[in-house]
Amino acid sequence: CALPIFDKGGERATRTLKDLGASMRGVINTAGKLGVAAGAAGAALIAGLTRSGMQAIDANAKLARSLQASVDAIRGLQLAAEDAGLNDLEGSLNRLNRRLGAVEQGGGPAIEAVKRLGLNLDELRKMDADERVAAIADAVRDFGGSSQEAARHLQNLGFEQREALGFFRAGGDAIR
pLDDT reported for residue 143: 94
Predicted TM-score (pTM) of the model is 0.65
Render pLDDT for 22-31 as a digit per residue (tens, 0 to 9).
Answer: 777 777 777 6
120: CB partners within 8 A, 6+ apart: none
176: CB partners within 8 A, 6+ apart: 130, 131, 134
Out of 1-10, 41-50, 70-79, 98-107, which region has the weakest mean confidence (pLDDT)? 1-10
Q: What is the DSSP string of 69-118?
A: --HHHHHHHHHHHHHHT---HHHHHHHHHHHHHHHHTT-STTHHHHHHHT
Out of 11-20, 128-137, 140-149, which region has the weakest mean confidence (pLDDT)? 11-20
